[in-house]
Amino acid sequence: MNEREMVRDLAKQYADIAFSDDSKARAENWGRLNALDASARPPIILDQLPWHEFGAWEELRCQASDPLLRGIENYFRSELFRIRHFGADLVLPTYFPCGKAYTDTGYGLTTVTQDESEHRNAQTHLYADQLPDEESLSKLKFRTITARPEETAKNKAAIEAVIGDILEVRPTGVMLWEGIWDRITFWKGAESCLYAVIDEPEFVHKLMRRIVDIEMDAIDQLEAQNLLAAGPGTKCHCVETYTDEDRYRAIDQAHIRTRDCWISGAAQIFSEVSPAMHDEFEIEYVKPLYERFGWVNYGCCEPLCRKIGIIRKMKTVRSISASPWTDVNMQAEAMGGDFVMLRKPNPAYVRAGYPEVDAVKAEVRKTLRACRRNGTPVAFVLKDITTVSCRVEGLTEWVELMKAEIENG
């Protein structure tokens, strides 16, 4: 079998799964959940995986030498590996996503780390403060985003020549992550950010106004050039975006508008900041930005159980993260049936490659009880998995354990 035939065979295996009745049922269940149907079965999804630990698996090893074929092969191998070993409620798109080509001049700043000689190879970093005062805000530039449709068409045609008779090749835009305070943290450093909201509130207000103006302008450009992503097969911060709503089904891929899209964001650095300060320095600024979009997936690793009230001020929020550090009872009570809870199980429970069975069971049972008591739709999203000690089977076992608890709970 030559390289082209090998890639086409992978495409056929992928298509068999993507167009299967099981895949359709998963999509329909996500649709019910995201439409706030609390009776939908709680789906399970895994993302942000330690792929660097999976190298021993033969089925992940790319064989093609041609760069185009190797890129297509890598996509199919990784997606087939996920769905077969720990796919849970992953839904494979019924098309091959071909990212739209574009250029972006950026913000005028890049991340600068402090001297890290004392902790080389660490997973965390200390960032230099590049925005220490009002004068420094001039460093932040408006972005210029330029679509390159000719390049997109060329890439699409090249892929179609290989697999176009098996799968649709669809040019896809970007799914936005608007965690503005994440960006600020990379530019200032965590400690500087937290001191600034206490000691220099007027400076922080000017900083937020500047960044939101830049982001609003960038979103205008993305929308005008049809560079946004929406519709079946797109994922927003790890989760499926299917929703059983007419406006979702009516999305026109030829001109995707912000109101057709999901968007995600968070202010993780505000984990221990009071609701009032979180509201003043984040919610009030991102509210008009998020409300341009049809659905918002809000939150990440920060506990939000005491902040549901301020999140409610953003009218298009549909799902809210419940991190491993949240009080799940408090959060479910505050959310009720008005949002989907994206419960983030603790990835530490799979770090050794073998699930910590009692801890996993206790976590899922507590969540299910809280959500059922309050009529809260819930999905389980295992992410930020930095290690499974090179034992992929542990993730498979974790999924089976979760499924059993959900079915029997």
Q: Judge whether 53 and 390 are in contact, CB under 8 Å.
A: yes
- Counted domains in the chain: 1
Section 200-224 average pLDDT: 98
pLDDT at 126: 85
* Burial degree of 165 (CB within 10 A; 0-12, 13-18, 19+): exposed
pLDDT at 64: 96
Section 329-344 average pLDDT: 98
Section 302-313 average pLDDT: 98
Q: Judge whether 273 and 307 are in contact, CB under 8 Å.
A: no
Section 214-232 average pLDDT: 98
Dump pLDDT digits (tens) for 79-127. 999 999 999 999 999 999 999 999 999 999 988 888 666 666 666 788 9
- Which comes out higher in pLDDT, residue 223 or 122? 223
The distance from CA 184 to its chain's CA centroid, rounded to whole angstroms, is: 19
3-state SS track over the chain = CCHHHHHHHHHHHHHHHHCCHHHHHHHHHHHHHHCCCCCCCCCEEECCCCHHHCCCCHHHCCCCCCHHHHHHHHHHHHHHHHHHHHCCCCCCCCEEEEECCEEECCCCCCCCECCCHHHCCCCCCCECCCCCCHHHHHHCCCCCEEECHHHHHHHHHHHHHHHCCCCEEEEECECCECCHHHHHHHHHCHHHHHHHHHHCHHHHHHHHHHHHHHHHHHHHHHHHCCCECCCCCCEECCEECCCCCHHHHCCCCCCCCHHHCEEEECCHHHCCCCHHHHHHHHHHHHHHHHCCCCEEEECCCCCCCCCHHHHCCCCCEEEEEECCCCCHHHHHHHHCCCCEEEECCCHHHHCCCCCCHHHHHHHHHHHHHHHHHHCCCEEEEECCCCCCCCCCHHHHHHHHHHHHHHHHC
Q: Which residues pair with 399 in a beta bridge?
A: none
Q: Express as a percent the part of the chain with pLDDT over 70.
A: 98
Q: Residue 372 maps to which CATH number?
A: 3.20.20.210
pLDDT at 117: 63
CA distance 6 to 62: 10
CA count, 13 A, side-chain hemisphere, 126 = 8
Tokens 């669809």 label which residue? 170
Owning domain of residue 300:
3-408
**Is the pTM above the cut of 0.85?**
yes
Dump pLDDT digits (tens) for 240-293. 999 999 999 999 999 999 999 999 999 999 999 999 999 999 999 999 999 999
The distance from CA 198 to its chain's CA centroid, rounded to whole angstroms, is: 30
pLDDT at 1: 75
Q: Which residues pair with 98 in a beta bridge?
A: 171
Section 165-184 average pLDDT: 97
Q: Express as a percent the part of the chain with pLDDT over 90.
A: 94
- pLDDT over 80 at 17, yes or no: yes
pLDDT at 252: 95
